[in-house]
């Protein structure tokens, strides 16, 4: 059976809680909106495959994440994609430069799949907002300064009834540099 999956970076529980408060506050001003109930995260990619294939991709995610080194990610400003009606929290330049290679390497690892991918790391507050609601969001939220230890990625599966993703696996960043294979000489 085909299922929809998402690969994402989850921040710390404290950041998840503070983003939830922001989403709830926005919801109190504009009513329900896309992603108002989703857990705070930075999307890497989404894909749909037969559930019988997921173990193979879990192994690939484990291998690539094993090579990543944990780091502190700083998100210090808001942004918007007007064309998508998205309002989000964005990382500072240094954190963006650390996050982008992770997004890129994970996407390359999953390359055989047809990916819906993100190449600009951000944490959505709202998606598919009307221009009016986008304006309200940008007036409600003007300053932000959060950080978290970026130390793992999560694999999520879509619950077709709730229309929300739930975590099915976590892959830790272990900072293991893979040894290069060196051709030796027998004599």
Rg (the chain; Cα; Å): 18
Structure tokens, 179: 């040894």
Q: What is the pLDDT of residues 124-153, one digit of tens each?
A: 999 999 999 999 999 999 999 999 999 999
Contact 141, 125 (CB under 8 A): yes
Percent of the chain surpassing pLDDT 70: 95
DSSP summary character for residue 83: T
Give 170's strand partners.
154
DSSP class per residue in 107-159: HHHTTTS--EE-SS--EEEEBS--HHHHHHHHHH-----EEEEE-EEEEEEEE
What tens digit of pLDDT does each residue of 105-132 get? 999 999 889 999 999 999 999 999 999 9
- Using pLDDT thresholds of 50, 70 and 90, give the confidence band for residue 54: very high
Specify the DSSP class assigned to residue 39.
Answer: P
pLDDT interval class at 1 (50, 70, 90): very high
- What is the pLDDT of the chain when averaged over all its residues? 94
Q: State pLDDT tens for residues 150-168.
A: 999 999 999 999 989 999 9
The pTM score is 0.91
Locate 184 and state its tokens.
């030796």
How many angstroms separate the CA atoms of 56 and 33, rounded?
Answer: 35
What is the C-alpha separation between 103 and 100, in angstroms, rounded?
5
Q: How far apart are the first and last CA of the chain?
A: 54
- Phi first, then psi: give them for residue 39, nearest 5 degrees: -65, 140
């Amino acid at each position: 059976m085909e299922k929809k999956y998402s690969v994402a970076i989850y921040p710390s529980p404290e950041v998840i809680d503070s983003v939830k408060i922001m989403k709830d506050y926005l919801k109190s001003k504009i009513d329900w909106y896309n992603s108002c109930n989703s857990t705070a995260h930075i999307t890497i990619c989404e894909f749909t495959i037969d559930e019988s294939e997921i173990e193979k991709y879990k192994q690939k995610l484990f291998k690539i994440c094993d090579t990543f080194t944990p780091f502190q990610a700083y998100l210090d400003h808001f942004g918007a994609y007007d064309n998508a009606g998205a309002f989000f929290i964005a990382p500072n330049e240094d954190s963006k430069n650390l996050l982008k290679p992770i997004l890129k390497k994970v996407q390359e690892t999953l390359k055989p799949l047809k990916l819906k991918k993100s190449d600009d790391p951000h944490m959505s507050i709202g998606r598919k907002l009307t221009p009016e609601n986008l304006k309200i969001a940008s007036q409600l939220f003007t300053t932000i300064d959060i950080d978290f230890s970026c130390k793992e990625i999560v694999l999520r599966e879509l619950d077709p009834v709730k229309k929300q993703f739930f975590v099915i696996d976590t892959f830790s960043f272990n900072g293991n540099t893979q040894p290069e294979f060196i051709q030796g000489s027998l004599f």
